[in-house]
């Protein structure tokens, strides 16, 4: 199962998690990150663009997931994380038109579904990046 499929099954907004919590919690399930419930709280303040409608919570949580998956020890020993992060920002901007919460909310948010469309598209982007990165690593 992919993260996008998990989201489509209704975990957001039904689980009453914000956008960032949804991505980190869902990725924890789908990609077996092994994060405890306490660790999942790390995403809490990133929803709603860090509560200030700045950088989208879906994007920041996606960066957390990429770090968890592709940084074995620390960033300085994993220079490829910068390229993977840049790819995430580029694909996010290309697909959604922005990575700042306020314009994304203006464009996609509804009272009924909250930021469902952003969460769903962000999950798909993250799934694709992870899938491609895993393929690259298998070839090496």
Give the tens place of pLDDT for each residue, 27-66. 999 999 999 999 999 999 999 999 999 999 999 999 999 9
In this prediction, residue 77 has a pLDDT band, given cuts at 50, 70 and 90, of confident
Cβ atoms of residues 123 and 130 within 8 Å: no
Please tell me the pTM assigned to this model. 0.95
């Amino acid at each position: 199962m992919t993260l996008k499929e998990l989201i489509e099954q209704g975990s957001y907004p039904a689980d009453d998690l914000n956008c960032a919590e949804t991505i980190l919690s869902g990725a924890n399930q789908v990609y077996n990150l092994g994060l405890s419930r306490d660790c999942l709280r790390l995403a809490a303040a990133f929803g709603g663009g860090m509560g200030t409608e700045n950088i989208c919570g879906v994007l920041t949580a996606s960066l957390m997931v990429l770090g968890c998956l592709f940084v074995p020890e620390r960033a300085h020993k994993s220079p490829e994380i910068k390229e993977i992060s840049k790819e995430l920002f580029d694909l996010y901007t290309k697909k959604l038109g922005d990575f700042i919460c306020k314009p994304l909310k203006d464009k996609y948010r509804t009272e009924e579904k909250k930021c469902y469309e952003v969460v769903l598209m962000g999950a798909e982007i993250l799934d694709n990046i992870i899938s491609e990165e895993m393929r690259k690593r298998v070839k090496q």
